[in-house]
Amino acid sequence: MREFPAWNVPQRAMFVIGLLATICPRSPASEPDARAAARVEFNRDVRPILSDNCYSCHGPDKNRRKAKLRLDERASALEKQAIVPGKPDDSELVARILSDDEDEMMPPRESHKTLTAHQKDLLKAWIAQGAEYQAHWAYVAPAKRKPPHVKRSDWVRNPVDAFILASLESKGIEPSPEAPRRTLIRRLSLDLIGVPPTPDEVRAFEQDADTKAYEHLVDRLLDSPHYGERMAVSWLDLARFSDTVGYHGDQGQRVFPYRDYVIDAFNRNKPFDAFTIEQLAGDLLPKPTTEQLVATGFNRLNMMTREGGAQPGEYLAKYASDRVRTVSLTWLGSTMGCCECHDHKYDPFSQRDFYSLAAFFADVKQWGVYQDYDYTPNPELRGWSNDHPFPPEIEVESAYLLNRRKQLADRIRQACSTAPDDDAFARWLDQAREFLKTSETGWRTVPVSNEPDAKPQPDGGALLADLPKIADEKTKSKAKPKETWTFRVEPGAAWVSRVRVELLPHPANGGKITRNGAENATVALTASIHPAGSKDGKPVRFHLAEADQKQPRYFNGYEVPGVLNGWTTSTDHAKEKQTAVWHLDPPIELKDGDALVVDVNGAQAGCVRVGFSPFGFDPRGNLDGGLDPDVKPALEAKAGDRTPEQTALLKTLYRLGSATDTAFWNDMRGLCRQIAECRDGRAFTMITQPAPPLETRVLPRGDWQDKTGAVVEPAVPHFLPQEASKSSGRQTRLDLARWIVAPENPLTARVFMNRLWKQCFGAGLSGVIEDVGAQGEWPVHPELLDWLAVDFREGGWDVKRMVKTLVTSSAYRQDSRQRPELRDADPANRWIASQSPRRLEAEFVRDNALAVAGLLKLDLIGGPSAFPYQPAGYYSNLQFPDRDYDASAGDLQYRRGLYMHWQRTFLHPMLANFDAPPREECTPTRNVANTPQQALTLLNDPTFVEAARVLAENLLSHGDLKDDDARIERLYERALSRAPKPAERASLAGFLARQRLVFRDHPPEADRLLHVGQSPSAKGLDPSEVAAWTTVCRVVLNLHETITRY
């Protein structure tokens, strides 16, 4: 841009007297009020103009500044006579913005920026009024002003209403009437828990005559465990939560306990200041709890790499920059990203501020490249590959895994409670009693049969014989140790359900379980059944295997459950017995004379003991093979004397230890695997660990290789209050966290409440959620935003209290129908003269369809991510490692959208189509687009097709719905919480009739439609009728109204 000259300029006859005459009328009676109404405010009126059009060349960034002129500072503007207070015609600024001379005009033509006539008039009027500057509204401490007086005091339920109504009354506008109760309960349910109300809930609320019915509804929703799930979604966008690391191979990362922490924090109403401190610096608190350590996963959710050839220094710089951007957006509502390379063009943040903030995180233990390459050795990551996790991690107890394991065990017991075949059950009971007479532990040792290679031991084990010594060094390499033990047993008539392998420490091996100095052993197991009189064996399959101690195996960042494909023993327990148990698939019944032959392969193993058991999988999740102590008393009790619990226990043991019912066994196999995947109810998660801080320098132009910049220490932005951040010695992340939530910080409470207002009203009081700086928006109700911020802080950072304040206001309860008289005056409804409809976020679009269909599983909170249906081949370009996508089975398929697997580089198409962010970066607000892909998703995504099919089956199976009209009525009640209009009813009835003809003429098409999804089809219904109603339900689920909150 061209420079303002440093000398005085001649007076120019540019000043428009008529402007001031219009702004300040001369009538004595009205003059004070008119002047007050026409007063031009710098923050509200002038700063946005200067910021958008001038600050890039005449603002905070010293490297881009022209003519040494700053228009963001009054002293500079006056010194250069760009502005002469009270004299717009003497001000060079006015001359330049009014000039038509291309060498003089501002903004210059090449900037592609133009001031409107109204903006020019505002600038002239502001200078004429004295050109008063104001500190930027967001950087001034908020003040809790007394709510204003209003005429319609009956409309005011809390201070929020007073501020809103005072503004509306000043404009001569009436608020909208309260929305119907059906609308209110749907609005509240979607806003507070993210799922629609059921027809019964709607009906009960409509009929509730209690004057506090609305407040009671709000309290019930705030107390719901699903409130935390709803609130977590926007926070996970900020935290950039993902199941994968993003860069290069985009491998998996173990982090779901952090998501559980966020959900639980909102449900328990953890104060927001504690919520902040725990995430940024929980590891630095005195004696941090496990929960506080899990919270620090926030700092680890930046993208990471293990790409070959990646430079650690480059990626450490990327990680540091990400954390600065994340903290500044999340808590300060500020866009500091540009300060990585230069001073901010619009706001007071300097490049030094950026790197001083980065220095707070210089103590985070991390690696630039999470791989052990020769060119960048990482001793702590020795042997690390593309399949390994991303340390540091801790193992924590997961309430979800514990509860799910219990649920699965209960399902197994329930399934096993069905009456077994009396004769087979009685025969099994006799065999079980006989077995326990000689094998009280529930296991019988199998003798070794390949002597002299393996020598039997008194404890039933087999010690592999030493190799003969070889004198010739040259031939040593040819000598291979014996690798296989063979164990054979003929137990008579018996069931075999499990095989156990124990590696025993032995003096011959130095008291270790391994030999030849090996650190650990890798063991594989095969087995076969040899029928009586036959030399050929029939191989035995296994469906599950687990060990009490093992060296973990990984794939794509996650531990491979079990040891079915090989067991590598733990080096940390080399002098202790280690045990693994293999589960037969299915259990096998041996006849007299049949032999069980077990081959154990393991070159490094020293002493091995093998056993078998007729007792199957333990629903308690006890994988080491221990027998329930209640089994023996139950077996010894006579049939008539057994308690119901004993009978249930024996039935469970019988059904899981035999395979007389193939269909039943197939179901049990899946449940047993799911229990095993719950491990012992524990899971690993990434955390922050402190380490000696790395040196932090200002990087000129953000170049990580340029080491000429100044070394900086941790410090908060220079222009914000400093008192709360002062401490002796080097400041830490804990100091930063406490400064963020200190009373002196003017940003944090404002930013959070602005974001919360958007959730409840559709737009923030300041419209640019991610930026409350100069490029943001002057709040439409600044006094209200300040009142909310101070009330939030003074109220103990109580989030639920503030949510309740907003949703119980009359402003929130307004009808959302657009008012014709405001369509032009306030098209975006910034004055809050009504509620604002908004489309549901991606996760809740899915939740809504599943909930309406009755498929949504809400019973368990938290846990690992689920894998909804996804187009085949979508991951074909994911490499390092290559991977497939397997859709979750059973009830996991119908978990909430919050728990969908989040693959950063290949985000699930449904999420992407409905504008969910990949979370590669902190995302304070989501874009909202309307695209054809959204309609196609609702029509064709298997999740939505299945939801429509199940919804149709429910309508046809409902005994009280006798005709099409009643079913259409019920469909609308479930999907929209209202009755259909006559035109809608007629339209759907006609469409249904046409679809009936289509599917009656094309039965294969009906059959294909009814087999979409995993949920079984309802029995006893006409397929063509179900298909016709499915298409009707697809139409209703595709309505804009269905995915919109009003």
Render pLDDT for 506-547 as a digit per residue (tens, 0 to 9).
988 889 999 878 889 999 999 999 998 888 889 999 999 999
For residue 461, the model assigns a pLDDT of 65
8 A C-beta contact, residue 155 and residue 163: no
8 A C-beta contact, residue 256 and residue 900: no
> In the chain, how many H helices and how many E strands?
35, 18
862, two tokens: 């938290």
Could you tell me if 488 and 593 lie in one domain?
yes
Could you tell me if 584 and 457 lie in one domain?
yes
Could you tell me if 656 and 786 lie in one domain?
no
User: What's the rounded mean pLDDT across residues 476-500?
Assistant: 74
Among residues 567, 591, 613, the one where a domain terminates is 613
The residue with greater pLDDT, 383 or 226, is: 226
Please give the single-letter amino acid code of residue 445: T
What CATH number has the domain bearing residue 463? 2.60.120
Question: Is pLDDT above 90 for 230?
Answer: yes
Name the percent of the chain lying above pLDDT 90. Answer: 74
For residue 209, the model assigns a pLDDT of 96
The pLDDT confidence band at residue 855, using thresholds 50, 70 and 90, is very high
In a domain, 108, yes or no: yes
CA distance 1030 to 1034: 6
pLDDT tens-digit readout, 131-178 = 999 999 999 999 999 999 999 999 999 999 999 999 999 999 999 999
pLDDT tens-digit readout, 40-98 = 999 889 988 998 899 989 988 888 888 889 998 898 889 888 999 999 999 999 999 99
For residue 226, the model assigns a pLDDT of 99
Query: Is beta strand 578-590 parallel, antiparallel or unpaired with respect to 444-446?
Result: unpaired
For residue 752, the model assigns a pLDDT of 99
Residue whose C-alpha is closest to residue 227's, from 194, 183, 188: 194
| Cis peptide bond prior to 779, omega within 30° of 0 | no
In a domain, 1040, yes or no: yes
| Cis peptide bond prior to 177, omega within 30° of 0 | no
CA distance 92 to 2: 13
Please give the single-letter amino acid code of residue 685: T
The residue with greater pLDDT, 566 or 422, is: 566
Please give the single-letter amino acid code of residue 733: R
812, two tokens: 């929130």
In a domain, 849, yes or no: no
Could you tell me if 521 and 605 lie in one domain?
yes
CA distance 549 to 571: 9
Question: Is pLDDT above 70 for 451?
Answer: no
For residue 23, the model assigns a pLDDT of 36
For residue 621, the model assigns a pLDDT of 57
Could you tell me if 447 and 375 lie in one domain?
no
Could you tell me if 452 and 438 lie in one domain?
no
The CA–CA distances, whole Å, from 398 to 221, 390, 876, 914 equal 25, 19, 32, 31
41, two tokens: 């405010």
In a domain, 242, yes or no: no
Could you tell me if 124 and 155 lie in one domain?
no
Average pLDDT of the residues of the chain: 91
Could you tell me if 428 and 447 lie in one domain?
no
8 A C-beta contact, residue 678 and residue 671: no
For residue 1, the model assigns a pLDDT of 38
For residue 417, the model assigns a pLDDT of 84
Q: Is 492 left (phi over 0), alpha (psi -120 to 50) or beta?
A: left
In a domain, 222, yes or no: no
82, two tokens: 């760009």
Contacts of 769 (CB under 8 A, 6+ apart): 333, 754, 755, 758, 924, 925
Residue whose C-alpha is closest to residue 240's, from 185, 284, 298, 289: 298
CA distance 186 to 973: 11
For residue 20, the model assigns a pLDDT of 32
Please give the single-letter amino acid code of residue 508: A
CA distance 613 to 631: 14
For residue 480, the model assigns a pLDDT of 47
Bridge partners, residue 801, by sequence: none
Q: Is 130 left (phi over 0), alpha (psi -120 to 50) or beta?
A: left
CA distance 933 to 915: 11
For residue 31, the model assigns a pLDDT of 35
Domain range for 157: 136-177+746-838
541, two tokens: 């399959």
The CA–CA distances, whole Å, from 232 to 193, 277, 931 equal 10, 17, 26
Q: Could you give the 3-state DSSP secondary structure of residue 595?
A: strand
In a domain, 898, yes or no: no
Question: Is pLDDT above 80 for 2?
Answer: no
Which residue in this structure is represented by tokens 């409804």? 829
Contacts of 760 (CB under 8 A, 6+ apart): 191, 803, 806, 807, 812
Reported residue count of the chain is: 1046
CA distance 235 to 990: 45
Say how many domains are in the chain. Answer: 6
Please work out, in degrees rounded to the nearest 5, the angle formed at the alpha carbon of residue 644 by the alpha carbons of 640 and 646.
85
Name the percent of the chain lying above pLDDT 70. Answer: 93
The CA–CA distances, whole Å, from 845 to 186, 755, 914 equal 14, 21, 8
Could you tell me if 140 and 126 lie in one domain?
no
Question: Is pLDDT above 60 for 33?
Answer: no
Question: Is pLDDT above 80 for 465?
Answer: no
C-alpha of 659 from chain center:
41
CA distance 241 to 901: 11
Lowest-pLDDT choice from 11-20, 34-43, 222-231, 1007-1016? 11-20
DSSP 629: T
Could you tell me if 965 and 817 lie in one domain?
no
Q: Could you give the 3-state DSSP secondary structure of residue 710?
A: coil
C-alpha of 235 from chain center:
8
pLDDT tens-digit readout, 552-575 = 999 999 999 999 988 999 999 999
The CA–CA distances, whole Å, from 926 to 230, 758, 763, 834, 920 equal 15, 11, 12, 23, 13
CA distance 142 to 839: 32
Question: Is pLDDT above 70 for 481?
Answer: no
Q: Could you give the 3-state DSSP secondary structure of residue 323?
A: helix
Query: Is beta strand 554-555 parallel, antiparallel or unpaired with respect to 542-547?
Result: unpaired
8 A C-beta contact, residue 899 and residue 858: no
For residue 13, the model assigns a pLDDT of 32
Which residue in this structure is represented by tokens 């950039």? 240
pLDDT tens-digit readout, 626-678 = 788 889 999 999 888 999 999 989 998 898 888 878 888 888 899 999 998 99
In a domain, 759, yes or no: yes
Could you tell me if 945 and 1027 lie in one domain?
yes
Residue whose C-alpha is closest to residue 893's, from 853, 930, 838: 853
| Burial zone of 304 (CB within 10 Å; 0-12 exposed, 13-18 middle, 19+ buried) | buried
- Cα-flanking dihedrals φ and ψ of residue 995, to 5°? -70, -30
pLDDT tens-digit readout, 664-717 = 888 889 999 999 899 889 999 999 999 999 999 999 999 999 999 999 999 999
Q: Is 617 left (phi over 0), alpha (psi -120 to 50) or beta?
A: beta
User: What's the rounded mean pLDDT across residues 90-118?
Assistant: 91
pLDDT tens-digit readout, 754-783 = 999 999 999 999 999 999 999 999 999 999
8 A C-beta contact, residue 920 and residue 246: yes
User: What's the rounded mean pLDDT across residues 853-862?
Assistant: 97
For residue 236, the model assigns a pLDDT of 99
How many C-beta atoms lie closer than 10 Å to residue 682's C-beta? Answer: 13
For residue 460, the model assigns a pLDDT of 66
Q: Could you give the 3-state DSSP secondary structure of residue 417?
A: coil
8 A C-beta contact, residue 824 and residue 947: no
For residue 810, the model assigns a pLDDT of 99
Could you tell me if 140 and 125 lie in one domain?
no
pLDDT tens-digit readout, 876-935 = 999 999 999 999 999 999 999 999 999 999 999 999 999 999 999 999 999 999 999 999
Is the full-model pTM beyond 0.75? Answer: yes
In a domain, 233, yes or no: no
CA distance 612 to 435: 11
Give the residue ranges of DSSP H helices in 39-91.
47-53, 55-58, 74-79
For residue 367, the model assigns a pLDDT of 96
Among residues 743, 764, 797, the one where a domain terminates is 743
How many C-beta atoms lie closer than 10 Å to residue 979's C-beta? Answer: 14
Among residues 726, 743, 760, the one where a domain terminates is 743
For residue 11, the model assigns a pLDDT of 35
